[in-house]
Amino acid sequence: MARGVVHIQWYATVLRHEAFAAEVAYVAPLALRYGATQYAVHRSRDDAYKIIQMSWFETKQDWYRYWDGLEMIEFRARNAGHYQIPITYVWNDELTAGALGPQVPNGQAPEPTPWAPAPPALA
C-alpha cells in the first residue's frame, strides 16, 4: 500500500469546540509512535466546530494500529459526548505537497529602500 494521509473529520458538540480541539491537538502527535511521518490538526475558520486531524502513514496497517491503539480508544471514551458520531475518516493519496521555509526563496523582490533626495550642500 502506498504512502497516504488519513483525514479524520471530527465535529465537536455545542460549546465544546475549544476544549475538544485542544484534546485532538494533544492526541495527534501520538500517531508518530505508530509509524506516522507527519501530523496536523486544522480547525475551520468558517465553522469552529469542524476539526480535521491529518496523519501521514506509509501503510494502512500502521494507521489501524494507531486508530485501534489503547491511546485512541481511551481518547474516544474520555471525550464521548464532546464530538458527534459517526466519526468519518478517509485514506487519501498525497499527490503533491510543498512548503515555504527559510531556505526556499519566495520569488518576491526585496522591499525597495526609500529614496530621499540628498540634502542641499552647505556653502
The tens digit of pLDDT for each residue in 73-96 reads 999 999 999 999 899 999 999 888
CB 28 within 8 A of CB 41: yes
Tell me the pLDDT tens digit for each residue of 25-44: 999 999 999 999 999 999 99
* CATH for the 4-93 domain, from 1.10.486.10, 3.30.70.100, 3.40.630.30, 3.40.250.10: 3.30.70.100
pLDDT for the residue numbered 94: 87
CA distance 53 to 12: 13
**φ and ψ at 85, to 5 degrees?**
-115, 155
What are the extents of the domains in the chain? 4-93
Crossing angle of the two packed helices 70-78 and 17-27, in degrees rounded to 10: 170
pTM, 2 dp:
0.76
β partners of residue 38: 56
Asked if residue 114 has a cis previous peptide bond (ω within 30° of 0), the answer is no
C-alpha cell at 96: 503533491
If you average pLDDT over residues 99-109, what whole number do you get? 68
